[in-house]
Amino acid sequence: MTTSAERLEELRQRALAAEIEPISEPEELARQSIRAHLEDVWGIVPPDLPEVGIRLHGPGVPGHDIAVREAAGILTSFQETIASIGQVLSHRATATGPINAQVLKSTELRLFPTPSPGSVIFHLTGPGEEISGAEAPALTGTDTLVDAAMHELFALVAKSAKADELETAGSLARDLRRFGPRVAKHLAELADHIVKDEIDMDLTWRTPRGRRRSATLERRSAQTIRDAIKLNEVETLRVELTGTLSTISTTKKAELKTASQGIVRIAVDDQQAASLGPFFNQPVVIVAEQTTKWSTETGRETRSYQLLDIALAKPATRTELPSALGLASNGGFAARTTATDSVFLLRQAAGLQHS
């Protein structure tokens, strides 16, 4: 028979193993007490669900009412942003095609609104984990995909609120690049609603483990997000591509067959095209200027390439283009190379595709 002290120590160890954070708010303490009472009465209670609170206020919310179109626009953009971030965190393609059905299910938020003086508050819940019935529900809550997506979104919103708007926009732009154009599209839509409708948004979030976090998306910080997304609309990199030059022409783009990207079409000027004969159907290494464009209208990206330098892949028999192509006299191609296929591999790891 265990003593009360041993039972207390067992509960303490189980709580530590479940990484339950100490309760610091009366509301959370009351909620946990009710759940504990229900467990004593019924034996099993449903697992905790992720919870999000969205409080809308500001000039666009007179009293405690809001136009349906404005509320729907904000909530839809918020939902699509979470689903798009979930797609990235699930390591699925982010630039083309629909969002995966399982990701949609795992990030779907359910809504029940309540009015409050001077604002409207929407309470949303996300999908929770399934339990077998043998666990203690208070100790089995785990963070779900929607929790992970919320964590990323709250971090972006928190960063947008920093005072130095120009510096913050640049830092935020770098963070946004890893999420891809789909997230940028929906986040831009959300920011547009906040700015144009003159509505501020207070966010609160509680995970199944009881962790809480808050963030505020005001009109100024929403504008910072818009600026950051605009900085990402066009990105130019110097990259190195390896493959077989399969098509050369004075009327259309050269085509390079690559193992990692398939057919890559590369723009060349008339002088370059006339000098590509020795490289036709040969394994080559090309240095090109890669331009990536994001569209916040479609949530997609396009890539284009402009030839800078070219050389045969085998150094022993390497043939170089005339100096008119822009090669340096001392070492030519090799001296000009400043980027490698690692640029492509990093972008490919983020689920992005070239056009």
Give the Cα separation of 244 and 284 in Å (integer).
Answer: 6
Q: How confident is the model at residue 136 (pLDDT cuts 50, 70, 90)?
A: very low
Segment 320-345 shows an average pLDDT of: 41
pLDDT at residue 343 tops 50: no
What pLDDT score was predicted for residue 198? 92
3-state secondary structure of 195: helix
Q: Tokens 């022409």, residue?
A: 249
Segment 106-122 shows an average pLDDT of: 77
DSSP state at residue 320: B
pLDDT at residue 313 tops 70: yes
What pLDDT score was predicted for residue 244? 93
| CA dist list (Å): 102 to 15, 50, 140 | 31, 17, 22
Give pTM, 2 decimals: 0.64
What pLDDT score was predicted for residue 346? 38
Q: Residues 249-279, buried b or exposed e (16+ Cβ, 10 A)?
A: eeeebbbbebeebeebebbbeeebbebbeeb
- Judged by average pLDDT, the poorest of 1-10, 257-266, 315-324, 344-353 is 344-353
Give the Cα separation of 202 and 198 in Å (integer).
Answer: 13
| Selection from 81, 68, 76, 56 nearest residue 296 by Cα | 81
**Highest CATH level, class, for 234-349:** mainly beta
pLDDT at residue 157 tops 50: yes
Q: Tokens 């990692």, residue?
A: 260
248 CA to centre of own chain: 38
Give the Cα separation of 300 and 292 in Å (integer).
Answer: 10
Residues 228/170, Cβ–Cβ less than 8 Å: yes
What pLDDT score was predicted for residue 196? 93
What pLDDT score was predicted for residue 133? 45
Mean pLDDT, all residues of the chain: 78
- pLDDT for 167-214, tens place per residue? 778 889 888 888 988 999 999 999 999 999 999 999 999 887 778 889
Segment 303-314 shows an average pLDDT of: 91
Give the Cα separation of 269 and 271 in Å (integer).
Answer: 6
What pLDDT score was predicted for residue 114? 63
DSSP 124-158: EE-------SSS-GGGT----HHHHHHHHHHHHHH
pLDDT at residue 16 tops 50: yes
- Domain boundaries for CATH 2.40.50 within the chain: 234-349
Determine what percent of the chain is predicted with pLDDT higher than 70.
69
Give the Cα separation of 75 and 61 in Å (integer).
Answer: 15
Name, in order, each residue with C-beta under 8 angstroms of 219's C-beta and a sequence gap of 6 or more. 58, 194, 195, 198, 199, 200
What pLDDT score was predicted for residue 82? 93
Segment 132-144 shows an average pLDDT of: 49
Segment 7-31 shows an average pLDDT of: 65
Give the Cα separation of 152 and 336 in Å (integer).
Answer: 38
Give the Cα separation of 33 and 129 in Å (integer).
Answer: 21
pLDDT at residue 72 tops 80: yes
Name, in order, each residue with C-beta under 8 angstroms of 167's C-beta and a sequence gap of 6 or more. none
